[in-house]
């Protein structure tokens, strides 16, 4: 049984068949899903999904793409969302210097605000980091985020970055890109990551694994990513599923159903 620690079922690409996607995930052995909001409407939908399904939890946050123009009213609304019982984390938050869809100073300001919120409420964080590794690490160290813990989601960095993230007390999660033919370096990084610091995720509808490349990703496809991770880590799939699920339950305080 798998826990998909990061996906976006609120995405409009699931509008026509969301219930079927959820059903297929359950049939594929996904026992828990954490739906991650990236803006205020997405967070609202994430909370609704968590209310409708006992096995879906929510993460609420503002993605750095949407950092421009975030005011105190939006932050207050997000704080109220985060107090909801089935909110497992503050996320997706961080810095994205690849697309630069929001000014970098506004991204950084919002990132710090949301880290403060996580610490205020005692919630772990889900970190987005793209071509901003040094800046993200600097902020995480300054904010002592190890107090609440969290995960660098969809990890794609090198071994040095992985070590530094782990030293901060955070976890790493790998999505479908670990299965890509050109991801040999990333698989080398994965090989060195302790099992107790690993999560599984799909980031659906993004990053479908190689077997499903070109298709809309779904939580049911997590098995393909898990199989590759188990191969790289030289453990049985069942063992990997058990360890990563227990890691997720511990950090996100998810009880067994």
Average pLDDT over the chain, rounded to whole? 97
Q: How far is CA 45 from CA 1, 38, 147, in A?
A: 25, 11, 28
CATH number at 207 reads 3.20.20.140
pTM across the whole model = 0.96
DSSP 159: H
How far is Cα 103 from Cα 125, in angstroms, rounded to an integer? 22
Beta bridge partners of 152: 127, 172
Mean pLDDT of 191-209: 97
Encode pLDDT of 63-93 as tens digits: 999 999 899 999 999 999 999 999 999 999 9
DSSP 217: P
Taking 90 as the threshold, does the pLDDT of residue 256 lie above it? no
Instruction: Report the candidate in 228, 224, 227, 226 with the shortest Cα–Cα distance to residue 245.
Output: 226
Query: Residue 129 sits in which domain range?
Result: 2-252
Q: Count how many domains the chain has.
A: 1
In a domain, 242, yes or no: yes
pLDDT of residue 250: 97
Is the peptide bond prior to 192 cis by the omega test (within 30 degrees of 0)? no
In sequence order, what are the residues at sequence separation of 6 or more whose Cβ sits closer than 8 angstroms to the Cβ of residue 139?
Answer: 95, 108, 111, 112, 115
Helix H or strand E encompassing 193: none
In a domain, 237, yes or no: yes
Taking 80 as the threshold, does the pLDDT of residue 167 lie above it? yes
In a domain, 186, yes or no: yes
In a domain, 257, yes or no: no
Instruction: Report the candidate in 77, 165, 67, 169 with the shortest Cα–Cα distance to residue 124.
Output: 169
């Amino acid at each position: 049984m798998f826990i998909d620690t990061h996906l976006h079922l609120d995405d409009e690409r699931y509008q026509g068949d969301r219930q079927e996607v959820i059903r297929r995930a359950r049939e594929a052995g996904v026992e828990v899903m954490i739906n991650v909001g990236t803006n205020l409407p997405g967070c609202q939908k994430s909370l609704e999904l968590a209310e409708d399904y006992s096995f879906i939890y929510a993460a609420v946050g503002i993605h750095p793409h949407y950092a421009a123009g975030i005011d105190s009213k939006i932050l207050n609304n997000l704080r109220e969302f985060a107090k909801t019982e089935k909110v497992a984390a503050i996320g997706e938050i961080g810095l994205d210097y690849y697309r630069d869809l929001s000014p970098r100073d506004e991204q950084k300001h919002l990132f710090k605000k949301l880290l403060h919120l996580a610490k205020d409420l005692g919630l772990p964080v889900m970190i987005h980091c793209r071509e901003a590794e040094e800046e993200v690490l600097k902020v995480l160290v300054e904010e002592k985020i190890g107090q609440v813990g969290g995960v660098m989601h969809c990890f794609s960095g090198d071994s040095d970055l992985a070590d530094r993230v782990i030293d901060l007390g955070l976890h790493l999660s790998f999505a479908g890109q670990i299965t890509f033919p050109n991801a040999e370096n990333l698989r080398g990084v994965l090989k060195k990551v302790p099992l107790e610091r690993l999560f599984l995720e799909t980031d659906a509808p993004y990053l479908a694994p190689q077997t499903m490349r070109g298709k809309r990703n779904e939580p049911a496809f997590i098995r393909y990513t898990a199989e590759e991770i188990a191969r790289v880590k030289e453990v049985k799939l069942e063992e990997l599923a058990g360890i990563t699920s227990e890691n997720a339950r511990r950090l996100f305080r998810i009880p067994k159903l």
